Amino acid sequence: MNAQQKLPLRLHHNAYVAKNLEVTRAFYEDMMGMPLLATWCEKTELFGKERIYCHCFFGLQDGSALAFFQFADSSDQKEFGPDLPISGFRHIALKVDKAHQLDLLARVKAANYDHSKYYFLEHGYCNSLYVIDPDGMIVEFCTDHPQVDKINADVLPKAHSELKRWLAGDHSPNNEAYHREQPI
């Protein structure tokens, strides 16, 4: 990357559709500690039809947010989600420190949240608590490895060649530190 290249400043928000905004609010605000920052009730022409929806924003420390929609019309709700299969490969990852990660785990346990809806993975470069929200979205709370700067410096020069290798059909792993799900 050259000095002239512009990058986005930060994530503004990431948006999803929720089945029930009160259930979503209770999960993100009450259990996970992310404050409700704004609720926008909107009516607008989108994709060839007038849509009426509510859009809620839950804050992150850097000023970004997770946002959730709920539609007034059930056919709009069905058209836009959230009924997608749960997949660990479709999630949002949020950086936290270890104390915050452990506090989140304690909150989940104190709320008697279904144990099958949260787990840990050790990736080598980060350790992650995954929590599945009431609509099936997976939220990952990551703590960086203590040597993350060294790890990043080591992998950056190889990023393009590793992608090229993968795309050419060599699918051998290059992350020996990855471990499967960790017990909680």
The 8-class DSSP code of residue 2 comes to: -
Q: Are both 91 and 65 inside the same structural domain?
A: no
Would you say residue 180 lies in a domain?
Answer: no
Number of domains comprising the chain: 2
**Strand 138-144 relative to strand 126-132, pairing:** antiparallel
Would you say residue 183 lies in a domain?
Answer: no
Would you say residue 1 lies in a domain?
Answer: no
The CA distance from 34 to 101, in Å, is 13
Q: Are both 114 and 166 inside the same structural domain?
A: yes
Q: Inform me whether the pLDDT recorded for 46 exceeds 70.
A: yes
Quickly state the pLDDT bin for 181 (edges 50, 70, 90).
Answer: low
- Which of these three, 59, 83, 107, is where a domain ends? 83
Q: Are both 48 and 123 inside the same structural domain?
A: no
Domain with 141 in it: 87-171
Residues 156-169 pLDDT 10s: 898 889 989 888 98
Q: Inform me whether the pLDDT recorded for 104 exceeds 90.
A: yes
Q: Are both 38 and 98 inside the same structural domain?
A: no
Give CA 48 to chain center in angstroms: 30
The proportion of the chain whose per-residue pLDDT surpasses 90, expressed as a percent, equals 48
